[in-house]
Amino acid sequence: MRTIRARLTAWYSLLLLVTVVALGAGVYVTMARALEDETLSSVRSLADQAVRLGSAVSEGEHQGPGIDLEDPSLARTLVAGGMFLEVYDARGRLMSQAPPLRGTSLAAPQNSTGAEVATTRYLPGIGPVLAYSRPITSNGRLLGTVVAGRSLAEMHVALARLRVVLAAGSLLGVAAALVGGWLLSGAVLHPVDRITRTARSISAGVLDQRLRLQGPDDELHRLADAFDEMLDRLQQAFDRERQFTADAAHELRTPLTVLQGEIEVALRRPRSDEEYRSILHTLQEAVGRLSRMVADLLILARAEAGAEILRRQEVAVAPLLRLVAESVQPRATAQQVTLTVHASKDLALTVDQDRIFQALANIVDNAIAHTNAGGEVELGADTEGDGIRIWVADNGEGIPPEHLPHIFQRFYRADAHRSRDSGGSGLGLAITKWVVEAHGGRITVQSQPGQRTEFTLHLPR
């Protein structure tokens, strides 16, 4: 099973292996060159010393190089350092050698006749040797050649040991990377496992699981926080839906109960035409209430699904407010409430006229319903920055402070009994809030119980 943890460990180990191999190769090449340079420098130094000695002897005796390599102490010194020294005359004949090489020599035919050459030769019983030849001259005349050499066996042994150390270090490094990468990736991905387990344990009915991840504010911590926030939103949505279902069932039960009761009463015995008309009138009111509630529910459902389309057009505000006032005037007259309109003629909005009319009618109707006889409801508009402010104010009973945060919720009623008796569905303010926000505006409310309540729609032009 190819897991993210396994892939991360593999990539981490591979990257470390490549890095270690590259670093080891660089160290090895650098060390090899350093040893080669040190070996070449030592044989050059030995050859230079021999050349200076041979030149001095030749100048004094006016003959070929007279370097004496038979000195036992010199031989011991050369052997201890793994060094070799040979002297050739101008014709390339071997004159002396220290220590003796038993029938072989350091110099090939091409580098024993005065040329300055560095080469590697393999000598039987000794192994690879770096040989460096240097001419001996006096007054521009070639006297002979000095060939200095040094065994490369120690260098090769050192490089072999270095290869072993680098290989062992690379293997140990990769092994540590595998173990450390596995443990580290496990620790890093642990929040992801928690998210997976939490997601699998969640069902539609149980949304109280949370990660609440502790630790540094990194990407995984932010992912866990976003997951918790998503669960909060889901839980709130499910709670709203459960409450909505319960409220809708409760609201629908009342008119259905009225319908059922009236029908049962009508069927118990024959009745007069007047009694049947009274029963049918009651049934008509119940059906009308059901129709309004279903229509409001359909609007909210389409709005939440994004299927409700606004048909915007330029609308004069003053005629719109007067139209709203005319639609609710019969109720205001019946309740002996004065309804006044204040709006400038030059105000205009680009809105869906039907939806704005519906939103304002809902608010004005609520204001009239909660204003006592002799009270007043005002409907007005004026400019507000780059937009327009439309307000509905009344001097009725007001809204208690504890109810203000909830009045735009579906089916919420500050006075459930009175609102239900008035025929309201409990969805008017929820629809109003959606209409205003769909137009890019916002709605606010201020209320002083028993004195004044004012709803304000802030709409962009």
DSSP label at residue 455: E
Find, among 328, 351, 348, 349, the residue nearest to 340 by Cα: 328
CATH number at residue 121: 3.30.450.20
Domain of residue 146, residue span: 4-158
Cβ atoms of 360 and 458 within 8 Å: the answer is no
Measured from the Cβ of residue 418, the count of other Cβ atoms closer than 10 Å reads 13
pLDDT of residue 286: 78
pLDDT of residue 457: 93
Domain membership flag for residue 296: yes
pLDDT of residue 314: 92
Q: Please give the structure tokens belonging to residue 228.
A: 């918790």
Domain membership flag for residue 110: yes
pLDDT of residue 61: 47
Buried b (16+ CB within 10 A) or exposed e, 436-455: bebbebebeeebeeeeebeb
For the chain, the C-alpha Rg in angstroms (whole number) is: 52
Q: Same structural domain for residues 433 and 377? A: yes
Q: Same structural domain for residues 355 and 299? A: no
Phi/psi of residue 446, nearest 5 degrees: -130, 135
Domain tally for the chain? 3
Q: Same structural domain for residues 154 and 8? A: yes
Cβ atoms of 100 and 86 within 8 Å: the answer is no
Domain membership flag for residue 184: no
Residue 166 region by backbone torsions, left for phi larger than 0, else alpha for psi between -120 and 50, else beta:
alpha
Asked which of 286, 304, 322 is the last residue of a domain, the reply is: 304
Contacts of 253 (CB under 8 A, 6+ apart): none
Q: Same structural domain for residues 142 and 243? A: no
Q: Please give the structure tokens belonging to residue 41.
A: 């420098």
pLDDT of residue 79: 73
Instruction: Name the least confident of 337-346, 424-433, 447-456.
Output: 424-433
CATH number at residue 233: 1.10.287.130
Q: Same structural domain for residues 22 and 139? A: yes
At 322, is the pLDDT very low, low, confident or very high (cuts 50, 70, 90)? Answer: very high
The pTM of the full predicted model, rounded to 2 decimals, is 0.51
Domain membership flag for residue 214: no
DSSP 281-317: HHHHHHHHHHHHHHHHHHHHHHHHTT------EEEEH
Q: Do strands 338-342 and 376-384 pair parallel, antiparallel, or not at all (unpaired)?
A: parallel
Measured from the Cβ of residue 10, the count of other Cβ atoms closer than 10 Å reads 16
Domain membership flag for residue 333: yes
Q: Please give the structure tokens belonging to residue 171.
A: 């293997």
Contacts of 104 (CB under 8 A, 6+ apart): 123, 124
Cβ atoms of 459 and 351 within 8 Å: the answer is yes
Give me the torsion for CA of 254, 260, 265, 268, rounded to 10°. Answer: -160
Asked which of 158, 178, 209 is the last residue of a domain, the reply is: 158
CATH number at residue 360: 3.30.565.10
At 1, is the pLDDT very low, low, confident or very high (cuts 50, 70, 90)? Answer: very low
pLDDT of residue 376: 93
Buried b (16+ CB within 10 A) or exposed e, 101-111: beeebbbeeeb
Helix (H, G, I), strand (E, B), or coil: what is residue 109? helix
Contacts of 41 (CB under 8 A, 6+ apart): none
Find, among 409, 408, 424, 418, the residue nearest to 251 by Cα: 424
Domain membership flag for residue 396: yes
At 305, is the pLDDT very low, low, confident or very high (cuts 50, 70, 90)? Answer: low
CA 18, CA 4: separation in Å to the nearest integer?
21
pLDDT single digits (tens) 126-154: 888 888 888 887 777 777 888 888 888 88
Is the preceding omega at residue 99 within 30 degrees of 0, hence cis? yes
Looking at every residue in the chain, the average pLDDT score rounds to 80
Asked which of 304, 321, 351 is the last residue of a domain, the reply is: 304
Domain membership flag for residue 205: no
Find, among 105, 104, 109, 106, the residue nearest to 92 by Cα: 109
The number of residues in the chain equals 461
Q: Same structural domain for residues 127 and 254? A: no
Helix or strand holding residue 394 (H, E): strand 387-394
Domain membership flag for residue 103: yes
CA 409, CA 402: separation in Å to the nearest integer?
14
pLDDT of residue 13: 81
Mean pLDDT of 229-252: 75
Q: Same structural domain for residues 319 and 277? A: no
pLDDT single digits (tens) 19-64: 888 888 999 999 999 998 888 888 888 888 877 766 655 554 445 4
Q: Same structural domain for residues 359 and 451? A: yes
